[in-house]
Structure 1
Amino acid sequence: MELRHLRYFAVLAEELHFGRAAERLHMAQPPLSQRIRDLERELGVRLFDRTRHRVQLTEAGALLLEHVRPVLSGVDTAREAMRRIRPGEAGVLRVGVPPDTHPVVLPTLTEGFARRVPDVLIDLHELTTDEQLARLREGELEAGVVRHPSDTVGLESGPLARRELGVVLPADHPRAGPEGRPVRLRDLSDSPLVIFPRAMAPRLYDHVLTICRDGGFLPGAIRHARNPNFVHGLVLAGRGIHLNEAPATPLPGGLVWRPLAGAPLAWLTSVVWVPSRHNEAIAAFAETVTEGLARAGHRIGEPSAG
């Protein structure tokens, strides 16, 4: 007994007319009649009473229909479940975002993506830049939101978004100064630096330290932290200063954020993907991320070079 034969039977049982059933099934009437006869022969019962003017279910046909309906419904449910886990345009888009993604970006991202491609579910994973790049190349992600500079050889990238960094200081730090007054990197020299672990994004880590050195800031010590609460706790405890974009929400009491003079440091962010896997869903994701970053204060520029 083949599943398609059961579907033919169910449609005919609903229509009780071979012509209309054949039209619904996108097939000719003679093959449909033959499939129904094959099913009756296999089951050893007559499923329909046929006359020149009408088609009616027999008692056996009515009983079979009660068993067939939940089977077909279950198959449709299973098909939909499989469709939903397929990557790309008709399923789930698996994407990575940085752990410190601005809070404004995520709701913009999910709502904007659903508006552009309502048939695709977005599966967000909180991952560092290097974790995203590895999973993209292994086929475990379809797209990622990464920080530059990074090793994006062999990947395509959307527009580069720039967000200038400032410095988080204890309010009583000698360089804190009035709100809005820029701080020069060289004036921070010898202060300990609280920064993300190098393993999260090695090229970006080295780039930040190079810019600091070129700007005259040689940290007295380097301490690693990735959780914002831990970072702020270290700064409050006087264990270092921290370089980051302007905070989205008020900092804990005792901390202040000041811009850096000349804007020497910035988060450079873009969406990346494997060129051969590009599709409508990835394009929609890239557009939505760009929209979210712009809303969070990033300046959108040219596609990144990796």
Structure 2
Amino acid sequence: MEFRHLRYFAVLADELHFGRAAERLHMAQPPLSQRIQDLERELNVRLFDRTRHRVQLTEAGALLLEHVRPVLAGVENARDAMRRIRPGEAGVLRAGVPPDTDPRVLRTLIAEFALRAPDVLIDIHEFTTDEQLARLREGELDAGVVRHPSDTVGLESGPVARRELGVVLHADHAAAADDGPVRLRDLNGAPLVIFPRVMAPRLYDHMLTICRDEGYLPGSIRHARNPNFVHGLVLAGRGIHLNEAPSSPLAEGLVWRPLNGTALAWQTSVVWVPSRHNESIAAFAEAVSKGLAEAGHRFEQAGRD
């Protein structure tokens, strides 16, 4: 049982309306409904009676609410206590980054943040884009580094950095014969190894749409998130993989090739809740921007969501 699911439940119990509760939580209505269903399945009870015109607490829901309210209040009191012991902006900045963040970006952002905010400890966690967005809205993160397009409604974003993607191929693949760029349509029919959709649904759909529009329809799709597992699948001949140029040499038998004239790219920015913005978050955003730039990303004015 996750803390944020209890908060979703409590807000819905207050509003008794999915639309108003979703708006208050700064999230879309379908994910809220799904989280409530997940909580009901976990507890093996129905918490709300839903009809077309109204939402009401069940007896089980009312009982759970009695237990949840003190928990939520206790957590908020603990957060307030932690804020009070921090001198001004000094304290801890809780930040999220994608699991596959380039090591050069991490090295630079940590060093640069230490220079810009020497009195603040940075606590970095690896989370997918959607995990970061959920934790930002729940107050569990202060800032996140996310990939676009994504559901950033109610959040503020820094400059968007862009880095074009290429393709990781088995060295024996026909498209790997030359060192030059590869056309997506020349990969048509090849199996695709890609991150699970749940990690970043909008980005996932965006990438597959571009592939389709440029003539590449995967023969099959295999999901993987660990880079070693991804590369192992490609090395075993189980597919190709779309990603930025690697920061270190690939395993023997793998090659990376740029893509010719494609719109496929990582679009990355720092996001935060506007009401919580402070000097530490500003310093983090600047440090991330420097790290991305040193790793080969370029900044653009538009094209985020």
- Report SS of the residue matched to 1:130: helix
CA separation of 1:303 and 1:137: change in aligned 2, threshold 3 A: farther
For residues 258-277 of structure 1, the C-alpha deviation after alignment (integer angstroms, 9 at most, x for no partner) is 00001320000000000000
- Where does 1:1-306 land on structure 2 (aligned, <5 Å)? 86=86, 89-179=89-179, 181-302=180-301, 305-306=304-305
- Report SS of the residue matched to 2:282: helix
| Structure 2 counterpart of 1:6 | none
CA contact (8 A) 1:89 1:279 kept: yes
Aligned length: 225
CA contact (8 A) 1:84 1:90 kept: no
* Distance in 2, Cα, partners of 1:87 & 1:274: 21
Equivalent residue letter for 2:286: E
Equivalent residue letter for 1:137: R
* Distance in 1, Cα, partners of 2:304 & 2:264: 18
**Structure 1 stretches lacking a partner, 5+ long:** 1-80
CA contact (8 A) 2:189 2:216 kept: yes
* Distance in 1, Cα, partners of 2:256 & 2:233: 15
CA contact (8 A) 2:267 2:304 kept: no
Equivalent residue letter for 1:141: L
Q: Which has the larger radius of gyration?
A: 1
* Distance in 1, Cα, partners of 2:120 & 2:90: 6
- Report SS of the residue matched to 2:289: helix
Compute the displacement of 1:90 (Å).
Answer: 1.3
Equivalent residue letter for 2:126: E
For residues 216-254 of structure 1, the C-alpha deviation after alignment (integer angstroms, 9 at most, x for no partner) is 000000000000000000000000000000000000000
CA contact (8 A) 2:234 2:241 kept: yes
Compute the displacement of 1:88 (Å).
Answer: 7.8
CA separation of 1:107 and 1:85: change in aligned 2, threshold 3 A: farther
Q: Normalized against structure 1, the TM-score is what?
A: 0.71
Compute the displacement of 1:89 (Å).
Answer: 1.8
Equivalent residue letter for 2:204: Y
Compute the displacement of 1:301 (Å).
Answer: 1.8
Equivalent residue letter for 1:124: I
Supply the RMSD in Å over aligned alpha carbons: 1.8
CA contact (8 A) 2:148 2:304 kept: no
CA contact (8 A) 1:85 1:92 kept: no
CA contact (8 A) 1:159 1:304 kept: no
* Distance in 1, Cα, partners of 2:294 & 2:168: 22
Compute the displacement of 1:95 (Å).
Answer: 0.4
Q: Normalized against structure 2, the TM-score is what?
A: 0.71
Equivalent residue letter for 1:203: R
* Distance in 2, Cα, partners of 1:84 & 1:270: 30
* Distance in 2, Cα, partners of 1:218 & 1:83: 51
**Structure 2 stretches lacking a partner, 5+ long:** 1-80
Equivalent residue letter for 1:165: L
- Report SS of the residue matched to 1:113: helix
Equivalent residue letter for 1:216: G
CA contact (8 A) 1:171 1:255 kept: yes
CA separation of 1:283 and 1:274: change in aligned 2, threshold 3 A: same
CA contact (8 A) 1:170 1:254 kept: yes
- Report SS of the residue matched to 1:187: helix
CA separation of 1:87 and 1:156: change in aligned 2, threshold 3 A: farther
Compute the displacement of 1:177 (Å).
Answer: 2.2
For residues 16-47 of structure 1, the C-alpha deviation after alignment (integer angstroms, 9 at most, x for no partner) is xxxxxxxxxxxxxxxxxxxxxxxxxxxxxxxx
User: Sequence identity, in percent?
Assistant: 79
